[in-house]
Copies of this chain bind each other. A is one copy, B any other.
Amino acid sequence: MKPSETDAPGDMPAKEFRAAAHEAADLIADYLEGVGAYPVLPKIVPGDVRRKLPSPPPEHGEAIGTILGDYKTLIEPNVTHWNHPGFMAYFAITGSGPGVLGEALAAGLNVNAMLWRTGPAPTELEETVCDWLRQMLALPPAFKGHINDTASISTMLALAAARHRLPGLEIRERGMAGRSDLPPLIVYCSDQAHSSVEKAAIALGFGMCNVRKIPCDDAFRMRLDALAQAVTEDCAAGRMPVAVVATAGTTSTTSVDPLRGAGELCKREKIWLHVDAAYAGSACVCPEFRALLDGLELADSIVVNPHKWLFTPVDCSVLFAREPQTLRDAFSLVPEYLRTADNGATNLMDYGVQLGRRFRSLKLWMVIRYFGVEGLRARIRAHVRLAQAFKGWVEREPEFELCAPAPFSTVCFRYVPTHLQSDPEAQDRFNERLLAEVNAQGPVFLSHTKLRGRIVLRLTVGNLRTQEEHLKTAWRLIREAVERNG
């Protein structure tokens, strides 16, 4: 059929798209099959990629084959390979096969599920899949989930809901500035909590100085006595507690704050309890790890990131709320152009800041179905087992030091050479050099943190391609670096 003269220039022709989609399918399959052959960190310096990109945009369209070719030679080799079996830094993640397919399908649909009407299946699938996850985490049915992009946003929304629930303050309407009736509003978390708590406090206008970083016990868990004392002091000084953020799986050591105790304190003091389970929430699909999060069900809100350790491509962060109506009251705002018939359906735009929303539940649905809950459990357990084996190797070597309990799949350790026993600064420099040398090799990528003021190395297992051999390689590279620098 010949396009009529009034036809507008359209999308890529159907036949060309189909061919290119098959080409992309092979590019992705090749990548996932061969990713282990890349160094985890590309050996480039800032500017190396930019220099190869034209400064002005292309005036004329280019062939898709050329673009895919540039992708393959310029982009793919120059990313940090998060899907690499040797990626053991930060929190290792996986864009698993079914998840990648889900993302691709969602991109084709290009649904914006802000309203039920603009995405009926996406809205109902999101509700269903979040409820699947709720069941997998053994949370009471009152908890309803919705999907955000990141835990940073989930936590910010939770703290905004906590603020909204403060009786009689009408902050949504009247704001926080220029009011003599408003005391400073305080958020509590441990000194091991993620920086997203402070970022939320900045955005919401609580201020960083009103984030109380409660000290931890020897195992890096928030001390409840210190929490209680801080709350008492703030109340006595006329300040108002808004929320406690307890962490289940802190970023540095994956420690778990005492959730039951925090929940009881919050209930007694009428403070919102938000649990940042972005990492360890996924492990709760296994009853033995759910037991480590005893009291999780006492939270008012919980964030769990399937894009962290549930094999779902970024981004996918589920925010559960025990009273989702509070989130809705805090944020719902329906302009005329978005008004639809009130048919009892959920309109997901009502639960947060963002109006536009991708069809993120599709990938999570495909991941849970493909692996099954049993399969997810087996993979989580395997990752923990691998990390525990590594922990054993560390413990058996006299000059290595395990720096924190490792309840899940993250191990914090450092090397303390005998001749540097009394020089902590030199120990730090030694371990930083160790890390740099190991990461420069290519096969593995580890990261670091600071514990009790000292540099420690972090190894985390969370990628589905990681096997025992990769841990052995990491361990070998670490010991070789030690020997070189000994």
Contacts and interface: CB of A to CB of B under 8 A. Distances in A.
A450 to B, nearest CB: 4
Given A59-B374, A355-B150, A184 B195 contact: no
Interface in A237-251: 239, 251
B24 A105 contact: yes
Given A79-B120, A239-B178, A18 B11 contact: no
B375 A60 contact: yes
A430 interface: no
A131 to B, nearest CB: 7
B82 A6 contact: no
A57 B90 contact: no
Interface in A326-362: 330-331, 333-338, 343-345, 353-359, 362
Interface stretch (A91-99, A224-232, A256-264): A91-99
Contact of A335 (B156, B163, B251, B313): B251
Interface string A65-95: 0011001001110111111000001100111
Query: Which 8 residue pairs spanning A and B have beta carbons closest together?
Result: A175-B207, A95-B110, A12-B97, A8-B382, A205-B205, A103-B107, A178-B184, A57-B132
Contacts of A90: 118, 337-338
A113 to B, nearest CB: 8
A447 interface: yes
A55 to B, nearest CB: 7
Query: How many copies of the shown chain assemble into the complex?
Result: 2
A351 to B, nearest CB: 11
Contacts of A79: 109, 111, 119-122, 359
A121 to B, nearest CB: 4
A10 interface: yes
Contacts of A176: 175-177, 205-207
15 contacts: A4-B467, A17-B33, A17-B97, A22-B25, A28-B105, A47-B124, A60-B372, A60-B374, A67-B369, A79-B359, A83-B110, A151-B356, A177-B210, A196-B355, A337-B447
A94 B94 CA distance: 29
Contact of A199 (B6, B98, B353): B353
B100 A107 contact: yes
A42 interface: yes
Given A24-B25, A26-B18, A29-B14, A57 B171 contact: no
A203 B95 contact: no
A212 interface: no
A116 interface: yes
A156 B200 CA distance: 12
Contacts of A172: 202, 207-208
Nearest to A101: B24
B195 A149 contact: no
A314 interface: yes
A45 to B, nearest CB: 7
Nearest to A157: B203
A303 interface: no
A76 B80 CA distance: 34
